[in-house]
Amino acid sequence: MKQIISFTVAGIIGGLVVIAGLKFTESPYIIESNAAQVIKASNIINTGVNTDFVHASAVATDAVVHINAQESRTLAMQRQEESRRNRRGSAFDNFFGGGDFFGNNFHRPKSGSGSGVIISSDGYIVTNNHVVGFADVINVTLNDGRVMKATKIGTDPSTDLAVIKIEGVSESFPKLEYADSDQVQVGEWVLAVGSPFGYLKSTVTAGIISAIGRDLDIIEGEKTIEEFIQTDAVVNPGNSGGALVNDQGNLVGINSAIATPTGVYAGYSFAIPSNLAKVIIKDIIENGDIERVNLGIEGYDVKDIKEDFNLSENNGFYVEDVYIGSAAQFGGLLPGDIIKRVNGQRINELEDIKRVMKFNKVGDTVKLNVVRNGTKKTIKLKLRKSM
């Protein structure tokens, strides 16, 4: 009986040893198999994507500056006086004394900081309008630590772009070359370069193009131009006006905004495409501040009202109302006119008018081909501020 028990115990122990041995020999096989898969995947990634951003970072950081913008007391007082005139001596002015319930002065000089990109060797810098638009005292800090004064050349609130220029220094500055932003693709690597929070100067983050052509309705004003490039490169307050570059260090866009529930980066950042920025920068350098206006009309797309209004035209924009003091009124456009072409471009709907006129500004002349009571007419409007 003892012998039978001994054989049984020995058998059990032997079985356990065999199972343990199988487990032991199984484990290295699984690890090796996983390692082989990791190596294979790694090789595929490395042969398909250039993840070495050292050159691009070096090029971009040398051409991206930190901007400190201040509003002088004189300018603040002028703004206060203009605000009072616009309110026409509201009783609230006397009650609050130009401030709020707590005695804070809304008209104290403004200040802020952001980033900028040198786009010419003689010191022209592009940034956001919201970074410098309010300021008349501007200093820039180069990547080498030098602080220099800059002058505001002009702004375009409709695109949130501004141009400043380093003054009083005769030297050649490092600059960024433009990339063709129309060629960027979703999934392409990009770097965001700037000074987040104002003190982390020359910071570089990497991400990919997440989407293109975003219209977010985040720029204030009646006539805005939004064609944002969306990325997941980390951008925070202070990065505004900084560079979005490709893996060659060429300028893809100007970082401008983030989508966030907290006020800091939450995974989505937005940049103004370089091709759009290039057009605006040239216009600002040549003409200074840009003020864009609409024609001053309201109406409907003909295709939506053709039957209800018993119209003979199949396409175009039907003018229902003309604003008093607008370019349309002064140019002779009338309610009931159907706009068929603007500057020679065919108009099927309101969006076509916006597309054709998106770069027009105060002082430009616009040629309209309209149908009025069945008769074709040509009208020339000089764009002006609305009264």
pLDDT above 70: percentage of residues in the chain: 79
Decide if 160 is catalytic: yes
| Mean pLDDT within 183-212 | 95
Is the model more confident about 358 or about 60? 60
**Sorting pLDDT into bands at 50, 70 and 90, what band is 106?**
low
Rounded Cα distance between 248 and 109, Å, is 40
**Sorting pLDDT into bands at 50, 70 and 90, what band is 77?**
confident
- pLDDT exceeds 90 at position 82: no
Is the model more confident about 336 or about 225? 336
Rounded Cα distance between 323 and 386, Å, is 8
- Top-ranked range on mean pLDDT: pick from 8-12, 72-76, 326-330: 326-330
- pLDDT exceeds 90 at position 115: yes
**Residue 168 confidence (pLDDT):** 84
**Residue 94 confidence (pLDDT):** 36
**Residue 278 confidence (pLDDT):** 97
**Sorting pLDDT into bands at 50, 70 and 90, what band is 36?**
very low
- pLDDT averaged over every residue in the chain: 83
**Per annotation, catalytic residue among 160, 247, 337, 352:** 160
Rounded Cα distance between 169 and 123, Å, is 9
Q: Where are the domains of the chain?
A: 63-166, 297-382
**Residue 349 confidence (pLDDT):** 93
Decide if 66 is catalytic: no
The CATH H-level superfamily of 297-382 is PDZ domain (2.30.42.10)
Q: What is the pLDDT of residues 156-194, one digit of tens each?
A: 999 999 999 999 888 899 999 999 999 999 999 999 999
**Per annotation, catalytic residue among 57, 113, 195, 240:** 240
CATH number for the domain whose boundaries are 63-166: 2.40.10.10
- pLDDT exceeds 90 at position 288: yes
Encoded amino acid at 377, one letter: K
Decide if 256 is catalytic: no
**Residue 318 confidence (pLDDT):** 97
Q: What is the pLDDT of residues 121-151, one digit of tens each?
A: 999 999 999 999 999 999 999 999 999 999 9
**Per annotation, catalytic residue among 66, 130, 158, 202:** 130
Please, how many CA atoms are within 13 Å of residue 90, restricted to the half-sphere of its CB? Answer: 14
Rounded Cα distance between 107 and 98, Å, is 8
Are 156 and 283 spatial neighbours (Cβ–Cβ below 8 Å)? yes
**Residue 125 confidence (pLDDT):** 98
